[in-house]
Amino acid sequence: MHIREELQISKPIDSGHEVSLALLLGREYVVRLFDQGLYEPEGISDQQYNVLRILKGGPKDGYLVKDIRCRMIYRFADVPRLVNRLEARGLVKRCENPADRRGSRIQITPRGLALEAKMHGCHDALCQKVDRCLSPEECVTLLSLLERLRDDHRSQVDAPQG
């Protein structure tokens, strides 16, 4: 269905607006799919799950908060608050950082590993569901176009405001 039909817009849409609307609406569908199928049943947010995945794939001694932040999908997340919530559930722990006493290292706990493992299969299935309507070639093209879009806008988004 064309974006104009789906959003019930009767007038022509400028090309920049159409692309933006299509991206935002596509994002909304994917977010809803993952929220309902993965995060809500486990009582965890997408950003908390992102932290667990980062820690699972990281070094055994964990990461500093700043290292987690730069690996996050949503770069403007309040990582200390996410860590606090995960720590309260026993999914991560803070460990002393011998290299710098000002910051602790964050490690995933066995309980966090178990939750991530429980969610992993469903996560993989949802990821496959997202691109099932695209051929492998179309996936490569879409990824390339989205990368170009991110590259073009990264400097604008990451630039300090003021």
**114 within some domain:** yes
Nearest to 51, CA basis, from 28, 27, 73, 76:
73
Give the pTM. 0.85
pLDDT band at 14 (very low <50, low <70, confident <90, very high): confident
Instruction: Tell me the mean pLDDT in the region 131-156.
Output: 91
Q: Return the pLDDT at 91.
A: 98
Q: Tell whether 48 is covered by a domain.
A: yes
Using pLDDT thresholds of 50, 70 and 90, give the confidence band for residue 103: confident
pLDDT of residue 33: 95
- Supply the CATH number for residue 81's domain: 1.10.10.10
Q: How far apart (Å, rounded) are the C-alpha atoms in residues 50 and 74?
A: 9
Question: Band of the pLDDT at 8, cuts 50, 70, 90?
Answer: very high
Distances from the Cα of 71 to the Cαs of 1, 131, 141, 142, in angstroms? Answer: 35, 23, 24, 22
Domain of residue 54, residue span: 26-119
